[in-house]
Structure formats: C-alpha cells, structure tokens
Amino acid sequence: MSLIRQVWLLLSVTLLLAFAGAIGVSVHSARHYLQAQLVVKNNDTAQALALTLSQQKGNAELEELAIASQFDTGYYERIRLVGADGKTIVEKQAEPHAQKAPAWFVALLGLAPADGVAQVSDGWRQVGRLEVRSQAAFADDELWQSTLNTVGVLLLLVVGAGIFSTVGVNRIRVPLLRTVDQARAITERRFVTVDEPDMPELRNVTRAMNAMVGRVKAMFDEQAGQVELLRRQAHCDPLTGLSNRAHFLSRMKVMLDAEDGAASGALVMVRLVELQSLNRTLGRSATDRLLQDAAAAMVESSRRVPGAEVGRLNGSDFALALPDVESLRDAAADMSARLRSLLRVHDGGTHAVIGAVRWTHGAGMSTLLAAADQALARAESRGPHTVELDDNADSGALGEDAWRHRIQAALAERSAQLVDFPLVGRTGELVHHESPLRLRLGEEGALVSAAQWLPMARRAQLTADVDLLAIELALVAIGADAQPRSINVSPSSLSDSAFSTRVHALVVAHPAASPKLSLELAEAGAIRQLHLVRELAEQLHGSGTKIGLEHAGERLADTRGLLEAGLDFVKLDASLLLGLSSDEARAQHVAGTVRMLHGIGLRVYAEGVSEVDDAAALWAAGVDGLTGPVVQLGRGQG
C-alpha cells in the first residue's frame, strides 16, 4: 500500500471512529435525558393525581372525572386505577401515535420509561393503585430528530475535516506526483518543469530533474525542428503553408473511406483567375503575397468546421474539405465573400470562382473530383466571383406538414400497435410489459417507432391524442390477456388541460384492467411539472393505475417533491447502468439511489440492461425489476 493510501486510511479510520463515537455519545445522552424526564413526569403525575383521588372518598364518578381531566392535559399513553382486588376501576388509553421515527430506530433505541405508580387511599383504607404511563412516541420522535440533527452537524464537521485533511495530504502528494509525472513525461517526449517543493527531501530531486529536462528538451527541440522541416517539404505547399495536392487528396480519401469518418460533407474548389496577368503586371512578390493572403482567408473560413482540411492543388487552384457541414451554399458563400473582399484590396484584376459539391461517406474519389471540376468550370464560364453548386443532398425527407398529416391519419384510423417488452422481478416473474406505441405511417403501412415520429408529434401538439390511443389499446389488451402493461406518456401531454380527465374516463371504463395499467413519464419533462403529475396521480390511484418515472437518475437528487407527486415506481435510465459491474463508483451511486427511493416507498426498476454481470450487480444493489436485452434473452434473474 502506498504512503498516501496509508495516510488516507489512518485519517479515514480516525474520522470514522470519531464520527461514530460522537453520534453514540450524543444519542445515548439524549436518550438517557428524555427517559429520565419521562420517568419523573410519570412519578410526579402519579403522586399528584393519587393525592387528588384520595380526596374523592372513593366516589367512582369523581375519580373517573379527575383521571380524565389529567389525561386530557398531557401526552399520556395510559392512566389506570387498579382496585385493591386487582380489578381495573378506571382506565384511559390513547390511540396509537403516528410516529415520524422509523420502526427500526424505535425498536433499537426507543424509550421505555417505567410507569409512575402511586397508592390511592381513603383515610386508612387503601382504595387501589394508580399507574401512569406517558406517550413515549413523542419522545422517540424527538430523539430521532435530535439524532438527525446530530448526524447532520457531524457530517458537516467531517466534511470540513476531510477538506482540511485533503489540503494537508495534497501538500505531500502533489510534489510526489509531479516528480513521477515529470519522469513519465520524459519518456513520452513531453518536457515539463515543475516548481520546487518546500520539503527539502524532494527539493533536490526536483531541481535535478528540472536541469535534466532542460538539457533533454534542448536536444529534442533540435531534432523536432529537423523533423518539422522534412514534414513541410513532404506535405506542404512551400509558399502558402497549405497541404500540397498529394497530401490534400490523401486526407480527403481518409475522410471518405475511414470507418469512423463523417457521414457527409462538402468539397469546395477555388480558382484564382488571371494570376499570370497579375504576375506580369505587379511582379512575383505581389502575386505571392496575394496567394498567401488568399490561403489565410481560406483557413479562417474553414475554422468554423472541425476537422476541415485546406490544400493548394496547383498554382491557382485551392480546395477545402469540410466534413459534416450542413449547408453547402453557406460554406461556399462565406468563402466567396472573403475572397471578393480580399481581391478588391489587392486590385490587380484577379477574381475568384468557386465550385462546390456535396459528398457522402464511401463516395469515390475520382467521381467526386470530376464533379467538383465540372462545377468549377461552370463557375468560370459564368464570369468573376461566380459560385456554382452541385448539392445532391436527399430532398425526399418529409416536411413538418407531411408528418402531421400522416400522424393524424394514423390516429383517426387507429392504425397503431403496442409492442411488448417484459420487465421481470428477481425470480423472473413478470412485473409488467413495457408497451411502446408504433404507428403505421405512409402508403406501405410499416410500423414506425416513436423515435421517428414523436418529435414531429410534439411539434404538432399531437402527443396527448397519441398517448390516449396508447392507453386505450393497453387497457383493451390487458382485458384480453390479463397481462400488466406500462405505457409511456409524454410530459407535454400533461399540459393539455383535458388530458387527465380523459385518461380518468378511460380507466373508469375498464375497471377490471386499470389496476394492471402503469403510466410512466420521462424524468426530464416530469420533474419540471410535478404538480401536473400529482394531479394525474390523484385522479388515477383510486382505480389502481400506477404512475412512475422513466429514464430517471440524473435529477432525482434535485427533486424534493417525489413523495408528494404520488409516484409508485422509478425506472433508472440505462445510461446509469452500463458497465455497472466493473465500476465501483457507479455501483455505489445506483445502490444509494435505490436506498433513497425505497426509503420513500417507491419501487425501483432498471432500464435497458444488456449484460448479465450488470444484472447481477443491479440485483445486489436492491432493484425490484429489470428490463432490456438481458431479460429478453432470459438471463436476467436474480
């Protein structure tokens, strides 16, 4: 174990022992004090009330009135007067108090003070024995709240101590790590110097390392300069510094053929016309300056596109390869405007023409260059500063109106179908089917998943109608096969003032199926309108329909109204769960989330689980159910 880890272990154990000891002493002291107070109260009340009862001369009605009066003035669990023969004469018993303290806390540390006992007599005749027991539940709640406050304060102190300890440990760790990193950097041809630490033991080592780095850096700087010179000679145009033709075409081919290359992009060809005339008129130096300025303008234009490449193909022709550019026209127009402004300043009779074509991943290099040359030739034939485009982008994509009409038609014709994906519990039992809706769109009538049409449905404000159709289909399916189902509801549907009422009408119309129906809303949208979620839950819970969050986990810690929202379950997003079995930090986060949600009575499910090891880790974390590929393959049992 490293020195730093040993220091951290020592600090952690010390803080843990101090934390546990402080909590133990505080809770014990508070419990002892509260119990002593309850005992004193019981005894004092018993003595005082016994004296009052002794003055009633054995009158049962007066005794009962006195006991009732005392019982109503304080928090008592029971006051009982037992006769000399052992029979109960008068007894007042309170209803059980709804405690805030959890049951495990009461069972472990709950107060159990002794009853107050006093003798009641009528002169020399003993009437009976009075027993007084105060309500310990209130004291248990107070002890629980005191414990929480103590834990909170101690946690703050632990955090403060942790910060202080971190600063102290870093004063030792940082210089050590810098020295190690410095040595590693040398082997990677990274030459760094570090500040000399205050500790004498490390100062001399760091000083020697810095001196060695200086010498090594000077040697490698010389070699790097030679390598850079060779690179420029091989790949760069000597005048402009741009990629030469061979290097540019190589880069372009990588963009077209690389497996992780861009899906599409633009190739912009630029030709400076009348350069020879300018050379004869103004001289070679002026022409070279123009070419250099033009190259700088092209580089500046390309900076808006990550991964762009700029090259000089020959004396007057340049090219820009722009991956993932959306608008071919905008890219070419920006270049044309920059060159027009530049050439106006030089005023040598030279002008620029531009030909631009769109390319897609996997396109042939020769075909692409031929199309670009043709576009450039057309631009040159049309005159100075002409831009010619060859944009072969797909123009068959549906527009917003077409999507809206298709969705409306599918809803009107009820041309839709639910697809079931099981969510199972620990022993493999079915919790419910996740049942996303798929619409039959277009003339071919193929089922289309929500990923393709839901954004347009939101834009066209059709989500409420879509969700109502899905809920109705689910209720009908449940009535047919008695299988529980869960339907995704768009949070935007809640904004429809009539949505909750219409859903309520549907579940009322299917009373046998509604207890097996669940509705789930995406966390990101539901959290912003928890009051609407609460209204929906209030209308549906009477029918047994459950409400939950899906794709959850990112914002649960920021939400204080989950309990008030009336939720029944939460589904943790698949992004939180991937690789859980091999990531201890992530596993701890999920386990903590599950504990938190279980603490407020919510069921917790995991979405999109694809690995057996992740499923095992999730069961260990305490989730109540899984869904995803691992379940569909029958490997998700706990």
pLDDT tens digits, one per residue of 426-444? 988 999 999 999 888 866 6
> Is residue 568 within 8 Å of residue 545, measured between CB atoms?
no
pLDDT at 259: 46
Q: Would the pLDDT of 365 be above 70?
A: yes
DSSP 8-state assignment for residue 243: B
Question: What is the residue-averaged pLDDT of the chain?
Answer: 81
Of the two residues 352 and 110, the one the predictor is more confident about is 352
Residue 437 lies in a domain: yes
pLDDT at 312: 93
The CATH number of the domain holding residue 475 is 3.20.20.450
Which DSSP symbol is given to 258?
-
- The residue from 567, 596, 615 where one domain ends is 567
State how far the Cα of 631 lies from the Cα of 291, in Å rounded to an integer.
64
Mean pLDDT across the stretch 488-500? Answer: 88
Is residue 477 assigned to a domain?
A: yes
Q: Say what the pLDDT of residue 77 is.
A: 77
With a pLDDT cut of 70, the percent of the chain lying above it is 87
Does residue 465 share a domain with residue 379?
Answer: no
Which among 542, 567, 592 is the end of a domain? 567
The answer as to whether 226 is a domain residue is no
What local confidence, expressed as pLDDT, does residue 300 receive?
92
Report the side by side order of strands in the sheet with 116-122.
88-93, 76-83, 125-134, 116-122
- Domain range enclosing 282: 245-390
pLDDT in tens, 123-133: 677 778 888 88
Please tell me the predicted confidence (pLDDT) of residue 186.
57
The CB density around residue 444, as the number of other CB atoms within 10 Å, is 6
Of the candidates 423, 483, 419, 447, the one whose C-alpha atom is nearest the C-alpha of residue 629 is: 423
Cα gap 63→243, rounded to integer Å: 108
Number of folded domains in the chain?
3
Predicted local distance difference test score (pLDDT) of residue 396:
43
- Predicted local confidence at residue 478, as pLDDT: 95
Residues 286 and 426 in one domain: no
Is 215 inside any structural domain?
A: no
Supply the pLDDT for residue 381. 85
Contact 131, 72 (CB under 8 A): no
Residue 586 lies in a domain: no
Of 163-167, 188-192, 506-510, the range with the lowest mean pLDDT is 188-192
pLDDT in the model for residue 607? 87
Residue 86 lies in a domain: yes
- The predicted model gives 194-221 an average pLDDT of 73
Confidence of residue 451 (pLDDT cuts 50, 70, 90): low
414 and 561 inside one domain: yes
What pLDDT is stored for residue 395 in this prediction?
A: 43
pTM (2 d.p.): 0.43
DSSP 575: G
> Could you say which DSSP state residue 236 is in?
B
Say if residue 553 is exposed, middle or buried (CB neighbours under 10 Å; 0-12, 13-18, 19+). buried
pLDDT tens digits, 240-284: 999 888 778 877 876 787 544 566 789 999 998 887 777 777 788
What pLDDT does residue 523 have? 83
Tell whether 360 and 424 lie within a shared domain: no
pLDDT tens-place string over residues 505-546? 999 999 999 999 999 998 878 888 888 888 888 888 788 999
Which amino acid is residue 232, in one-letter code? R
Domain check: are 385 and 404 in the same one?
A: no
Using CA atoms, how far apart are residues 39 and 190, in angstroms rounded to an integer? 74
Q: How far apart are CA 330 and CA 638, in angstroms?
A: 56
Instruction: State how far the alpha carbon of 358 is from the alpha carbons of 256, 302, 366, 398, 571, in Å.
Output: 12, 16, 14, 21, 43
For residue 407, which of 466, 473, 449 has the smallest C-alpha distance? 466
Report pLDDT for 222. Answer: 61
Among candidate residues 371, 390, 409, the one where a domain is terminated: 390
Give the CATH number of the domain where residue 357 resides: 3.30.70.270
Enumerate helices (H) and strands (E) in the chain, giving the number of each: 19, 20
Calculated CA dihedral for residues 430, 436, 440, 444, nearest 10 degrees: -70
Residues 411 and 556 in one domain: yes
Other Cβ atoms less than 10 A from the Cβ of 473: the count is: 18
| Predicted confidence band of residue 219 (pLDDT cuts 50, 70, 90) | low
pLDDT in tens, 367-417: 999 999 999 988 888 888 899 998 765 444 455 677 788 888 888 888 899
Residue 189: what pLDDT? Answer: 47
Q: Are residues 304 and 358 in the same domain?
A: yes
Q: How many residues does the chain have?
A: 638
Residues 376 and 469 in one domain: no
Looking at the fold, whether 410 and 313 belong to one and the same domain comes out as: no
Structure tokens at 447: 């089922």
**Model pLDDT, residue 216:** 59
How sure is the predictor about 447, in pLDDT bands with cuts at 50, 70 and 90?
confident
450 pLDDT higher than 60: yes
Of 638 and 409, more confident = 409
> Could you tell me if 311 and 457 lie in one domain?
no
pLDDT of residue 188: 42
CB 356 within 8 A of CB 323: no
User: What tokens appear for 178 in the block?
Assistant: 């810098």
Q: Report residue 171's pLDDT band, with 50, 70 and 90 as the boundaries.
A: confident
Element (H, E) at 603: strand 603-606
CATH number reported for the structural domain that contains residue 88 in this entry: 3.30.110.200
For residue 444, the model assigns a pLDDT of 67
pLDDT value of residue 567: 84
Q: Give pLDDT tens digits for 333-350.
A: 999 999 988 888 776 678
Tell me the two tokens of residue 25.
């002493």
Euclidean distance between the first and the last CA atom of the chain, given in angstroms as a whole number: 35
What is the C-alpha to C-alpha distance for residues 288 and 346, in angstroms, rounded to an integer? 12
Residue 519, Cβ density class (10 Å: 0-12 exposed, 13-18 middle, ≥19 buried): buried
- If asked whether residues 498 and 476 sit together in one domain, one would say yes
Is residue 239 classed as helix, strand or coil in its secondary structure? coil
pLDDT tens for 557-582 read: 555 556 567 788 989 887 678 778 88
Q: What are 587-634's pLDDT values in tens digits? A: 877 888 887 788 777 899 998 888 899 899 999 989 999 998 888 776
Question: What number of other Cβ atoms are within 10 A of residue 145's Cβ?
Answer: 12
CB 309 within 8 A of CB 243: yes
Would residue 520 count as lying in a domain? Answer: yes
pLDDT value for 152: 85
The C-alpha atoms of residue 272 and residue 276 are separated, in whole angstroms, by 10
For residues 358 and 405, state if they share a domain: no
Residue 419 domain-assigned (yes or no)? yes
